[in-house]
């Protein structure tokens, strides 16, 4: 469903949210190491996210990535749209050229409700909310949340 790039992006943004802040930025290499993502590949992805202002970055010594307050209110949807494009969810699951209420494919009535719930979740779930939820579920003992 999502590409590797898209999945890497989500995990990286989560990591940034939970492990850095404006006064304590984190480098792409460190994120890549911790998340087992090829470092130069992740760097490219973070570049894209920065360009679309979903995350923030600063060059030079003690530079790195962090999330501004504005970034924190971006949604999962924004990340996915930036890296994968959101169009992919609109195509028929089974690849039929026409697929709608009148001419539904065999799993149309399963897929569409899921897709709608999914999209509405992606659009409302902000990065902070997601990061908090994630850190709870994953018992980050090293959890730091000091953005701005």
Partner DNA sequence: CAAATAAAAGATAAAAAAGTCTTTTTATAT
Partner DNA sequence: ATATAAAAAGACTTTTTTATCTTTTATTTG
Binding site for its own copies (CB under 8 A): 1-2, 4, 6-8, 10-11, 36, 76, 93-97, 102-107, 110-111, 114, 117-118, 121-122, 125, 130, 133-134, 137-138
Cβ distance to its own copies smaller for residue 43 or 118: 118
- Minimal CA–CA distance to 59: which of 71, 43, 80, 73? 43
Residues that bind DNA (CB under 7 A): 3-5, 8, 26-29, 37-41, 43-44, 46-47, 50-51, 57-65
Length of the chain: 148
Distances (CA, A) of 80 to 21, 54, 83, 112: 22, 11, 5, 19
Which one of DNA, its own copies, none interacts with residue 34, CB within 5 to 8 A by kind? Answer: none
- Minimal CA–CA distance to 15: which of 41, 40, 42? 42
Which one of its own copies, DNA, none interacts with residue 63, CB within 5 to 8 A by kind? Answer: DNA
Cβ distance to DNA smaller for residue 25 or 132: 25
Q: Is 106 exposed, middle or buried (0-12, 13-18, 19+ CB in 10 A)?
A: exposed
Which one of its own copies, DNA, none interacts with residue 125, CB within 5 to 8 A by kind? Answer: its own copies
- Strand positions, DSSP E, the chain: 56-58, 64-66
């Amino acid at each position: 469903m999502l590409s590797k790039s898209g999945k890497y992006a989500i995990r990286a943004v989560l990591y940034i949210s939970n492990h850095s802040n404006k006064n304590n930025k984190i480098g792409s290499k460190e994120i890549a190491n911790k998340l087992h993502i090829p470092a130069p590949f992740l760097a490219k992805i973070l570049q894209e996210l920065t360009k679309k202002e979903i995350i923030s970055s600063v060059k030079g010594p003690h530079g790195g990535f962090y999330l501004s307050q504005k970034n924190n209110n971006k949604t999962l949807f924004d990340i996915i749209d930036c890296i994968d494009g959101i169009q992919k969810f609109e195509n028929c699951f089974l690849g039929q050229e026409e697929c709608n209420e009148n001419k539904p494919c065999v799993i149309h009535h399963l897929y569409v409700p899921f897709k709608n719930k999914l999209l509405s979740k992606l659009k409302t779930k902000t990065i902070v909310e997601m990061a908090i939820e994630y850190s709870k579920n994953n018992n980050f003992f090293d959890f730091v949340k000091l953005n701005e």
